[in-house]
């Protein structure tokens, strides 16, 4: 009888020290957690032989890694979706955007296990809840875009170049952030957001209007002095490098039908020469004023003062000053003057 009791005690002791089997989610990469199906959650398993905290961190990293991987495919999918037939190739080229998931705070640790010296952690991201959070965070940008794009579309129809340029620039500045946000929401939720379709239609209309305006935009370069060395050539070439079409007509000489997409760029050089302690001294400053022929908006810029000195020859001092008025300086001033009247770039 005593032997039987001893044997029974050994069996019970062995059973009490046996470890419970680890959950299925620790043994298969794609195994569902019974409480967190992958249809509703993005999940990640972390394991570590160091500590439970290390396993926690690895689980969260695996969730974030899955989202990053999906962002690549969703970016391609988003661009294909938003560049359907009817969208010009030029507009398509403006759809490139970088996306990243920066809401790791929404990833939750929901389960842990331990087998021997190995720690396991299970992390999840709730697709629907995260999509709602992302939607709320982009709502202000989306509202601003709709307002600005709507204003730009109305101004274009009314041939108000000034209002169009201002509103289109505002919408274009917001656009990459919204594109990026919709791509992240696709990667998280697994499908496009409800607001995406309406946004894409308006965005593509806006980009098409911007391209139309750029294609038709003409800048009349009016240099106020005939003896301004290479100033006219520098200015015309600067306009061309901005992707705009230059001519020599002012607003007053254009047909009424051409005023909407025209801007006059007045270039006024000023020379001042005098005799100083070191000899003849000349200063040159160039002032630029851009005026939209329709809409009343304008922009101004100045090429910094250039100086030339010669011991005895004023003309040589003058030329030395003009030599310092470079093509690069003129181009920078042209851009500054025109950006108040023309949507030069996003």
Q: For residues 70 and 64, what is the distance between their CA atoms, to the nearest angstrom?
A: 10
Side-chain-side CA neighbours of residue 75 (13 Å)? 15
Q: Is 14's pLDDT higher than 50?
A: no
Q: Is the pTM of this model over 0.85?
A: no
Q: Is residue 206 a contact partner of residue 149, using CB atoms and an 8 Å limit?
A: yes
Nearest to 71 by CA among 174, 168, 158, 183: 183
Q: For residues 332 and 326, what is the distance between their CA atoms, to the nearest angstrom?
A: 10
Superfamily of domain 20-126: Acetamidase/Formamidase-like domains (3.10.28.20)
Confidence bin at 256 (pLDDT 50/70/90):
confident
Q: Is 228's pLDDT higher than 90?
A: no
Q: Is 126 exposed, middle or buried (0-12, 13-18, 19+ CB in 10 A)?
A: middle
Nearest to 127 by CA among 72, 69, 64, 190: 190
Confidence bin at 99 (pLDDT 50/70/90):
confident
Q: Phi-psi bin for 48: left (phi > 0), alpha (psi -120 to 50), beta? A: beta
Q: Is 12's pLDDT higher than 70?
A: no
Q: For residues 186 and 181, what is the distance between their CA atoms, to the nearest angstrom?
A: 9
Share of the chain above pLDDT 70, in %: 85
Q: In the chain, where are the structural domains located?
A: 20-126, 129-215, 217-338
Q: How confident is the model at residue 298, as a pLDDT?
A: 86
Q: How confident is the model at residue 7, as a pLDDT?
A: 46
Supply the CATH classification number for the domain 217-338. 3.30.160
């Amino acid at each position: 009888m005593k032997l039987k009791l001893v044997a029974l005690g050994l069996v019970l002791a062995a059973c009490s020290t046996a470890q419970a089997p680890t959950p299925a989610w620790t043994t298969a990469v794609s195994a569902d957690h019974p409480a967190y199906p992958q249809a509703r959650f993005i999940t990640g398993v972390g394991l570590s032989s160091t500590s439970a905290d290390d396993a926690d961190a690895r689980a969260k990293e695996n969730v974030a890694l899955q989202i990053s991987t999906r962002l690549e495919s969703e970016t391609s999918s988003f661009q294909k979706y938003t560049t359907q037939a009817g969208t010009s190739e030029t507009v398509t080229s403006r759809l490139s955007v970088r996306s990243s998931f920066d809401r790791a705070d929404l990833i939750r640790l929901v389960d842990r296990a331990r087998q021997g010296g190995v720690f396991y952690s299970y992390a999840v991201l709730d697709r629907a809840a995260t999509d709602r959070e992302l939607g709320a965070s982009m709502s202000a940008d989306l509202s601003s875009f709709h307002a600005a794009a709507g204003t730009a579309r109305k101004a274009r129809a009314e041939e108000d170049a000034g209002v169009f340029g201002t509103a289109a620039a505002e919408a274009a500045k917001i656009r990459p952030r919204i594109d990026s946000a919709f791509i992240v929401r696709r990667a998280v939720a697994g499908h496009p957001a409800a607001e995406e379709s309406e946004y894409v239609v308006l965005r593509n209309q806006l980009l098409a209007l911007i391209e139309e305006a750029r294609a038709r935009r003409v800048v009349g370069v009016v240099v106020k002095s005939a003896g301004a060395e290479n100033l006219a050539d520098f200015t015309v070439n600067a306009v061309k490098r901005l992707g705009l079409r230059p001519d020599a007509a002012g607003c007053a000489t254009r047909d009424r039908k051409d005023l909407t997409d025209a801007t006059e760029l007045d270039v006024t050089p000023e020379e001042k020469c005098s005799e100083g302690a070191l000899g003849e001294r000349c200063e040159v400053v160039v002032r630029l004023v851009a005026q939209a022929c329709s809409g009343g908006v304008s922009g101004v810029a100045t090429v910094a003062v250039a100086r030339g000195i010669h011991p005895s020859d004023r003309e040589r001092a003058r030329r030395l000053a003009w030599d310092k008025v470079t093509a690069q300086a003129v181009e920078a001033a042209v851009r500054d003057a025109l950006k108040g009247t023309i949507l030069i770039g996003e």
